[in-house]
Amino acid sequence: MVLKVYNTLTRQKEEFHPMTGNRVYMFVCGPTTYDHSHLGHARTYVAFDVIARYLRYQGYDLFYLMNITDIDDNIIKRANERDIPPAELAEKFFKLFIKDMDTLNINSVNLYAKATEHVQEIISQIETLMEKGFAYNVSGNVYFEVRKFGDFGKLSGQDLDSLQAGARIEVDQEKRNPEDFVLWKSEKPGEPTWDSPWGSGRPGWHIEDTAITTKYFGDQYDIHGGARDLIFPHHESEITIAESATGKKPFVRYWFHSGFLNVEGEKMSKSLGNFFTIQDVLQKYNAEIIRYFLLYTHYKSPIDFAEKYLKEAAVSYERLNKSYQGLISAVENAPDDTGTTKDDLELLEKVKKYREEFLSAMDDDFNTREAIATLFEFSHTLNKALFGAVNPPAKDTLTQIQNTFLEITNILGLFEHDASGKKTDAGDNIVDELIGLLITIRDKLRAEKNFKLTDEIRDTLKSIGVKLEDSKGGTSWKIVEKKE
């Protein structure tokens, strides 16, 4: 079955075809690091973690990039309230964000790109826009003149002539038109600044992402994701900036947007004050239950959040977990010398069917709800074989079933155990994490075409007994004999 995805840009499902062979570039808007991440953030990042996992599972060579907005009005305001430098505040909450992502088993991002580390790229892109006549400078503030871009509104469906100042548009008397948005903000007392051709100042929000993606992906790429509230004005403005600067269309081929996580009918957000931090929820529920709760709804649909729904998710998850723990025990205790029976072969055929149904659901716009429904059918059949059959399955049959179960649940980031079936512990993962970090750095160097250093990392790891293997699905590693 061909992978089909819903594209916000075309408002329909389409077959997924990367721009270049099997290589896929995906960018997802990351957080503004001025506070703890909440469950609404987790909803988006878990969804795109699964999308990334599935693309890699299907053999795509995915480079997953996420920006970090570490300079912003909210950061400056919060830092001033605490009487600390904005950079210190932003770094603190960036580290806490990464901790939350690790806890939720979100490990698919190749590179987190901070806005403050890409200011020169931002300035360069603004210069290009000014040279082409799309941007103008007023007293050190640089604005994009939206009406000079003919396709504004194609992502969101917004009619430019009907937009009113104040309706998600920044009001500023300096602007030529109410809809014009800022690319560069002039220096204000007590704010962090960078030098630019228009004087000291700092970047606007929308251009951070386009400058970052252009650096790592080039003028065009495959997937841009984020929560649906970013469609307008943020993602609409990104298209406007990038296509004006490069002259190439489309800036992005596929736009994916996740639905809101709602509390009593309203979007969970910091501005509304109705949010629950990830750490708050982790006090009551383990990370896999939270992932399960978030994945039980299709990523584009809204989720209603309430304590009772999390409790229901915990009970539902434990049903699957009980089946899997029973499978682990059966594999460990099964005798080695029993042969495969007719019942075993029929059971394996059913498991094969469940695997195909699971993958078919994922091919239908990453439909995790239907994929999980298939897991319960799998679990029901497994329970009958383990606890209701006169002759239990052979050890080889059980091992094949366990491998299939882990193969498909690892796409969801659930039930990730070591080879013995034991849940991995953070202390046992330090080697994995360090090598993973080196692979991420190597991916960044590859994107920058610094092949000398990428080869040096590969050769150095090999000399200490770690072999990297690059494939269409990404980079994997294994322990080998040390090079003498």
Longest dimension (CA), the chain: 84
* Average confidence (pLDDT) over 411-425: 63
pLDDT band at 339 (very low <50, low <70, confident <90, very high): confident
pLDDT in tens, 435-483: 777 887 888 888 788 888 888 888 888 888 888 877 655 676 767 655 4
Amino acid identity, position 387: F
The CA-CA-CA angle for residues 143, 72, 225, to 5°, reads 85
SS3 label, residue 124: helix
pLDDT band at 425 (very low <50, low <70, confident <90, very high): very low
**Backbone phi and psi for residue 183, each to the nearest 5 degrees, phi listed first:** -105, -30
Amino acid identity, position 73: D
Which of 113-117, 122-126, 196-200, 339-343 bottoms out in mean pLDDT, i.e. has the lowest?
339-343
Would strands 141-144 and 181-186 be described as parallel, antiparallel, or unpaired?
antiparallel
pLDDT in tens, 469-482: 776 556 767 676 55
All domains in the chain, ordered by first residue:
4-282 (3.40.50.620), 306-412 (1.20.120), 426-479 (no CATH)
Instruction: State yes or no: pLDDT of 56 exceeds 80.
Output: yes
**Backbone phi and psi for residue 25, each to the nearest 5 degrees, phi listed first:** -110, 125
Which of 55-69, 179-193, 300-314, 378-392 bottoms out in mean pLDDT, i.e. has the lowest?
378-392
Instruction: State yes or no: pLDDT of 165 exceeds 50.
Output: no
Which tokens hold the place of 363?
């091919």
The pLDDT value recorded for residue 390 is 73
Total-model pTM: 0.85
Average pLDDT, the chain: 89
**Backbone phi and psi for residue 344, each to the nearest 5 degrees, phi listed first:** -60, -45
* Average confidence (pLDDT) over 283-290: 93
Cβ atoms of 257 and 232 within 8 Å: the answer is: no
Q: Give the position of tokens 């529920």.
A: 285
Cβ atoms of 34 and 89 within 8 Å: the answer is: yes
The pLDDT value recorded for residue 288 is 94
Measured CA to CA, the distance from residue 188 to residue 208 in angstroms comes to 19
Measured CA to CA, the distance from residue 433 to residue 283 in angstroms comes to 24
pLDDT band at 431 (very low <50, low <70, confident <90, very high): low
* Average confidence (pLDDT) over 410-433: 60
pLDDT in tens, 363-414: 999 999 999 999 999 999 999 998 877 788 999 999 999 999 999 999 999 9
3-state secondary structure 195-229: CCCCCCEEECCHHHHHHHHHHHHCCCEEEEEEEHH
The pLDDT value recorded for residue 161 is 74
